[in-house]
């Protein structure tokens, strides 16, 4: 069975939590005691109907205020797939949560209220999904019951949104008219909308092809840990442990270690359950080489004729996640693959106006939840690829060296000369 990870986005009242509650409930993942707890709370608050959103609101403040503060992860499975949902809050100020949710997602599900149409927030989330390299976007036009299941209204919203999405990098856009509350087109096709010829949301999620989303071309193996057992049985064992970030690695392959540039051949690959002839992402493996090279954590194995960029001057899009604004001249700790270094923000190129997709090059700082383009100078070379080609080697985080807080998510661009 395959694993599909998706994030949800949309505005506050688009019914996201209700939809997730519905997916969990209709796919029989909600347990009786959890449902009863929600029913009790709904009754106590005087709601007209059982608020399925309560199933995902985990913290006390959230239940009290009826809002979602943080990314909540939810799990369900059908006979066809196992799903992980990153449920991200819809408030504008929580863009960083959307970025977080998207960073591990294969697909993003955006909700729109059929009465309101696409809002600023919908566009913002679509733009973030595109920026984070999400290939599959599902637009759920929700609350169709409140617009009389109107085909015209649905077509109008889809047309409007498609016009916006054309300017983004969205490879696969699917639009589905639903009612999360009534359950129309969520698990089963609705009889209320015979004009809709597509799949129900769950059928779509079960079938969408994600196998081609990984990069199986460019071999990148960031060394996570050097394993040298102190035991008689494995006296000469020297293994490089890590996750295959991209590409396929086979026994016998010639590889080059960065930064040293020395090459060797793969003698063996061991996966969690034993020896492998071949390894691919996202497998955790231990690799042994023919020659005793000086390789440590943070180094990278690749192919002699397919190497990542190596550089200390890099350009990136970042999403700023701290209260205090970012200005050029600041220094941070940077973590990229398995390397830590320090990074100086040399310049801020522009701030992205997410709503108009306009570049504001006069901006002198990035505020919380802003997205912008920066130039960084790092204390050690990074081995990286453009994020669009390789998420695993094109992503990084910036960490405040005083507070140790994670202050930015970064996506590397190809080097410009």
Partner 1 sequence: MAHRLSHLDTLASEAIHIIREVVAEFERPALLFSGGKDSAVLLHLATKACWPQRVPFPVVHVDTGHNFPEVLEYRDQQVNKLEVRLVVGSVQEDIDRGSIVEQPVPGATRNRLQTFTLLRVLEENRYDAILGGGRRDEEKARAKERVFSLRDEFGQWDPRAQRPELWNIYNTRHRPGEHFRVFPLSNWAELDIWQYVEEQHLELPSIYFAHRRTVFRHSGMLLAVGPWTQPRDGVASEQAFEATVRYRTVGDMTCTAAVESTASTPAEIIVETAVTRVSERGATRADDRFSDAAMEDRKREGYF
Determine the Cα–Cα distance for residues 376 and 398; give it in Å rounded to an integer. Answer: 11
By C-beta, is 177 or 298 nearer to partner 1? 298
Work out how close the CB of 84 gets to partner 1 at its nearest, in angstroms, rounded to a whole number: 6
Work out how close the CB of 343 gets to partner 1 at its nearest, in angstroms, rounded to a whole number: 14
Q: Which of residues 218-237 bind partner 1 (CB under 8 A)?
A: 224-225, 227-231, 233-234, 237
Is the bond preceding 71 in cis, omega lying within 30 degrees of 0? no
Among 232, 364, 404, 416, binds partner 1 (CB under 8 A): 404
By C-beta, is 81 or 189 nearer to partner 1? 81
Among 50, 84, 146, 182, binds partner 1 (CB under 8 A): 84
Q: Which of residues 189-218 bind partner 1 (CB under 8 A)?
A: 211, 214, 216
| Of 261-269, 279-287, 346-354, 367-375: span binding partner 1 (CB under 8 A) | 279-287
Q: Is 99 in the site for partner 1 (CB under 8 A)?
A: yes
| Of 79-87, 119-127, 163-171, 350-358: span binding partner 1 (CB under 8 A) | 79-87
Q: Is 417 in the site for partner 1 (CB under 8 A)?
A: no
Q: Which of residues 245-274 bind partner 1 (CB under 8 A)?
A: 248, 270, 272
By C-beta, is 141 or 276 nearer to partner 1? 276
**x/- binding map, residues 316-355, to partner 1, per CB under 8 A?**
-----x-----------x-xxxx-----------------
Determine the Cα–Cα distance for residues 392 and 321; give it in Å rounded to an integer. Answer: 20
Work out how close the CB of 258 gets to partner 1 at its nearest, in angstroms, rounded to a whole number: 18
Work out how close the CB of 145 gets to partner 1 at its nearest, in angstroms, rounded to a whole number: 28
| Of 95-103, 110-118, 176-184, 356-364: span binding partner 1 (CB under 8 A) | 95-103
Q: What are phi and psi of 378, to 5 degrees?
A: -105, 155
Among 43, 45, 75, 260, binds partner 1 (CB under 8 A): 75
Query: What's the sign of the alpha-carbon dihedral 392, 82, 10, 191?
Result: positive
Work out how close the CB of 191 gets to partner 1 at its nearest, in angstroms, rounded to a whole number: 28
Q: Which of residues 26-65 bind partner 1 (CB under 8 A)?
A: 31-34, 37, 41, 56-61, 63
Contacts of 234 (CB under 8 A, 6+ apart): none
Q: Which of residues 283-322 bind partner 1 (CB under 8 A)?
A: 283-284, 286, 297, 321
Determine the Cα–Cα distance for residues 324 and 328; give it in Å rounded to an integer. Answer: 13
Q: Among 325, 314, 331, 332, which residue's Cα sits nearest to residue 384?
A: 314
| Of 75-83, 167-175, 187-195, 343-351: span binding partner 1 (CB under 8 A) | 75-83
Judge contact between 384 and 308, C-beta under 8 A.
yes
Determine the Cα–Cα distance for residues 209 and 4; give it in Å rounded to an integer. Answer: 10
Contacts of 253 (CB under 8 A, 6+ apart): 219, 265, 266, 303
Query: What's the sign of the alpha-carbon dihedral 40, 44, 47, 48?
Result: positive
Query: What's the sign of the alpha-carbon dihedral 296, 302, 303, 305?
Result: negative
| Residue positions counted in the chain | 417
| Of 110-118, 157-165, 361-369, 387-395: span binding partner 1 (CB under 8 A) | 387-395
Among 12, 397, 413, 414, binds partner 1 (CB under 8 A): 397
| Of 111-119, 171-179, 300-308, 402-410: span binding partner 1 (CB under 8 A) | 402-410
Q: Which of residues 119-138 bind partner 1 (CB under 8 A)?
A: none
């Amino acid at each position: 069975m395959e694993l599909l990870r998706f994030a949800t986005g949309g505005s506050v009242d688009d019914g996201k939590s209700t939809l997730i509650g519905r997916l969990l409930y209709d796919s029989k993942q909600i347990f009786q005691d959890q449902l009863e707890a929600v029913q009790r709370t709904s009754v106590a608050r005087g709601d007209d109907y059982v608020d399925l959103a309560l199933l995902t609101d985990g913290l006390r403040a959230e239940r009290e205020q009826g809002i979602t503060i943080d990314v909540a992860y939810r799990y369900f499975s059908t006979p066809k797939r196992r799903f992980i949902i990153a449920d991200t809050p819809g408030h504008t100020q929580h863009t960083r949560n959307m970025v977080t949710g998207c960073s591990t997602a294969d697909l993003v599900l955006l909700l729109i209220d059929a009465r309101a149409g696409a809002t600023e927030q919908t566009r913002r989330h679509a733009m973030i999904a595109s920026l984070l390299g999400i290939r599959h976007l599902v637009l759920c036009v929700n609350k169709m019951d409140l617009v009389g299941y109107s085909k015209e209204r649905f077509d109008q919203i889809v047309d409007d949104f498609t016009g916006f999405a054309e300017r983004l990098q969205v490879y696969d856009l699917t639009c589905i008219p639903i009612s999360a509350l009534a359950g129309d087109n969520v698990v089963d096709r609705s009889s209320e909308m015979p004009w809709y010829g597509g799949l129900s949301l769950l059928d779509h999620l079960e079938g969408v092809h994600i196998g081609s989303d990984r990069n199986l071309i460019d071999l990148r193996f960031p060394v996570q840990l050097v394993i040298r057992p102190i035991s008689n049985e494995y006296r000469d064992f020297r293994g490089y442990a890590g996750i295959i970030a991209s590409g396929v690695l086979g026994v016998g392959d010639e590889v080059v270690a960065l930064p040293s540039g020395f090459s060797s051949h793969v003698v063996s690959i061991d996966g969690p359950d034993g020896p492998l002839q071949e390894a691919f992402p996202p497998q955790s493996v231990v690799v042994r080489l023919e020659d005793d090279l000086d390789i440590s954590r943070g180094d990278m194995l690749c192919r002699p004729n397919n190497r990542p960029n190596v550089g200390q001057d890099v350009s990136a899009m970042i999403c700023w996640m701290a209260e205090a604004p970012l200005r050029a001249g600041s220094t941070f700790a940077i973590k990229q693959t398995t390397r830590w270094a320090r990074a100086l923000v040399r310049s801020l190129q522009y701030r992205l106006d997410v709503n108009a997709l306009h570049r504001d090059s006069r901006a002198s700082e990035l505020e919380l939840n802003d997205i912008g383009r920066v130039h960084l100078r790092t204390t050690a070379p990074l081995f990286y690829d453009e994020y669009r080609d390789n998420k695993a080697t094109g992503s990084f985080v910036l960490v405040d060296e005083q507070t140790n807080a994670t202050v930015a998510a970064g996506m590397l661009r190809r080097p410009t000369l």
